[in-house]
């Protein structure tokens, strides 16, 4: 950037949204090119702070190395409290210490507290920049307070009313405040019995509460019911999206990725995928061994081999459907562990219908290709295989949930593998019986 153009660019840039600017700056920054960094450094402090909250952790660290400490401290001071704590947590010890020294004592205290919560909890997600009103205040004074503190708050549309010791008593919306008589006391107007969460509540539960009750923000309290922070709806949206992505990845045995697919390094992708692939290689040996076991049956009726892939795949496919329905139902809260009996009954009914339909389809092929005897074997096997696959797919997520594992571990490849082994055993056992083999 030529120095002459700087002002023009600054003016143009000021109309852009922080999210767009962050994306542009990330694209314009690599080892060679410092355009992104220079553009970033030319922006006003508040815009910088906002953008810094948007860019990914890798780029944050790269910028933290390149930007002078004083400047960085200014940016960090202007960041929202929750984003500041997240950034702090990815820094090394030396950098944390340096940053800590450069902050005012109030921010330092706040940062120390926010950064101390365990990853994945409401405490780690929340911000301390919430609007608070003391019990007994009038509407007019509450409005004055909100007006004066607005610039530092994440939101002023929900103000939390606290009593002695900062205990959470209720919430009042700005909508309610501006439509109420100025001399009314907030306690008479506030909503009580409000939805809140604890600092140690799981962040996915936080997102679910915000989504279920259509909240702008969820207040977070400590063990003594003292208000310590809020989580806003935009953070809940990010959590819900990340959670859905993680569940989908798990459903295909892809492990945790720190970044998106586009920015992930080949090695991190390799690492997230290799574990289950190798486990499943060994698990599939059981399928091979089962086939081996029925060598004699197979060599006597080589036509049986033709229907094997179709049968074992059908069990896996039906199982994948049931497992996916169940995993997602548990994740969204649509179904809970206590529903398992009702859902099992329904699944058995549905799977019977599916099995009969698929048996009808396959027996046509069976008759044409291998005659009535093998068609019978294939049709019976299909019904059993689909019923079993579907039941395993339905029950495994529940079982995992019960054992405190993530139900999403019931991935499709895992279900498919289990269905393959049992499919081979079922098919050739039925064949042996019907065809009168030893």
Q: Give residues 382-411 in contact with a copy of itself (rule: CB under 8 A).
A: 386
Q: Applying CB under 8 A, does 219 fall inside the site for a copy of itself?
A: no
In this structure, which long-range contacts are made by residues 302-307, counting pairs with CB atoms below 8 Å and at least 24 apart in sequence? 303/369, 303/370, 303/374, 304/374, 304/377, 304/427, 304/428, 304/431, 306/369, 306/370, 307/362, 307/365, 307/366, 307/370, 307/374, 307/378, 307/381, 307/427
x-marked contacts with a copy of itself along 7-36 as a string, rule CB under 8 A: --------xxx-x-----------------
Site string for a copy of itself, 187-216 (x = CB under 8 A): -----xx-x--------------xxxxx-x
* Residue from 25, 424, 426, 431 in contact with a copy of itself (CB under 8 A): 424
For the CA atoms of the chain, what is the radius of gyration? 30
Among residues 99, 115, 254, 383, the one that binds a copy of itself under rule CB under 8 A:
254
CB of 208 to a copy of itself, least distance (A): 10
| Residue 362, token pair as written in the block | 């396959």
Q: Does 147 bind a copy of itself (CB under 8 A)?
A: yes
Phi, psi of 22 (to 5 degrees): -60, -40
Q: Taking CB under 8 A as the rule, does residue 329 contact a copy of itself?
A: yes
The reply on whether position 109 binds a copy of itself by CB under 8 A is no
Q: Which of 62, 140, 361, 367 binds a copy of itself (CB under 8 A)?
A: 361
Residues in CB range of 157: below 8 A, 6 or more apart: 173, 174, 175, 216, 217
Is position 184 an interface residue for a copy of itself (rule: CB under 8 A)? Answer: no
Q: Is 261 in the site for a copy of itself (CB under 8 A)?
A: yes
Q: What are phi and psi of 58, to 5 degrees?
A: -60, -45
Least Cβ distance, residue 415 to a copy of itself (angstroms)? 9
What is the phi-psi region of residue 166: left when phi exceeds 0, alpha when psi lies from -120 to 50, beta otherwise? left
Task: Report the nearest approach of a copy of itself to the CB of residue 223 (Å).
Answer: 24
Q: Does 240 bind a copy of itself (CB under 8 A)?
A: yes
Measure the CA–CA gap between 11 and 5, rounded to whole angstroms.
Answer: 10
Looking at the Cβ atoms of 133 and 424, the one nearer to a copy of itself is 424
The token pair that represents 392 in the structure block: 């395993």
Query: Which region among 63-71, 104-112, 299-307, 430-438 touches a copy of itself (by CB under 8 A)?
Result: 299-307
Nearest to 177 by CA among 210, 153, 213, 144: 144
């Amino acid at each position: 950037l030529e120095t002459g153009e700087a002002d023009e660019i600054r003016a143009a840039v000021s109309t852009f949204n922080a999210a767009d600017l962050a994306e542009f700056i990330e694209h314009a920054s690599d080892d060679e090119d410092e355009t992104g960094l220079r553009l970033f450094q030319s922006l006003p402090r508040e815009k910088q702070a906002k953008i810094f909250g948007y860019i990914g952790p890798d780029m944050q660290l790269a910028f933290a190395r390149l930007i002078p400490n004083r400047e960085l401290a200014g940016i960090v001071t202007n960041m929202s409290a929750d984003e500041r704590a997240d950034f702090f947590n990815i820094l090394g010890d030396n950098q944390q210490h340096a940053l800590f020294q450069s902050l005012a004592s109030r921010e330092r205290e706040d940062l120390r507290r926010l950064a101390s919560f365990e990853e994945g909890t409401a405490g780690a997600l929340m911000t301390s920049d919430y609007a608070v009103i003391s019990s007994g205040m009038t509407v007019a004074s509450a409005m004055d307070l909100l007006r004066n503190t607005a610039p530092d708050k994440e939101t002023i549309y929900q103000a939390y009313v606290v009593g002695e010791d900062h205990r959470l008593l209720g919430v009042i919306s700005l909508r309610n405040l501006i439509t109420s008589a100025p001399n009314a006391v907030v306690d008479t107007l506030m909503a009580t019995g409000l939805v809140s969460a604890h600092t140690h509540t799981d962040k996915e539960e936080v997102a679910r509460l915000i989504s279920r009750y259509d909240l702008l923000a969820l207040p977070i309290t400590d063990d003594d019911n003292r208000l310590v922070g809020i989580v806003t709806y935009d953070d809940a949206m990010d959590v819900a999206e990340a959670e859905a992505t993680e569940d989908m990845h798990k459903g295909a045995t892809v492990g945790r990725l720190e970044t998106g697919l586009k920015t992930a390094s080949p090695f991190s992708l390799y690492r997230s995928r290799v574990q289950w692939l190798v486990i499943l290689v060994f698990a599939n040996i059981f399928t091979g061994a089962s086939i081996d076991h029925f060598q004699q049956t197979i060599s006597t009726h080589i036509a049986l081999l033709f229907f094997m892939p179709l049968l074992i795949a059908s069990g896996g496919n039906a199982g994948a459907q049931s497992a996916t329905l169940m995993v997602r139902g548990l994740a969204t809260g649509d179904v809970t562990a206590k529903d398992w009996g009702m859902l099992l009954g329904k699944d058995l009914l549905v799977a019977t219908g599916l099995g009969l339909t698929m048996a009808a389809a396959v027996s046509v092929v069976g008759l044409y290709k291998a005659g009535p005897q093998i068609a019978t074997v294939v049709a019976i096997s299909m019904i059993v295989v689909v019923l079993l696959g579907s039941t395993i797919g339905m029950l495994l997520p529940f079982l995992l949930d019960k054992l405190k594992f993530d139900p999403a571990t019931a991935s499709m490849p895992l279900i498919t593998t289990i269905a393959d082994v049992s499919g081979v055993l079922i098919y050739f056992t039925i064949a042996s019986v019907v065809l009168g083999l030893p």
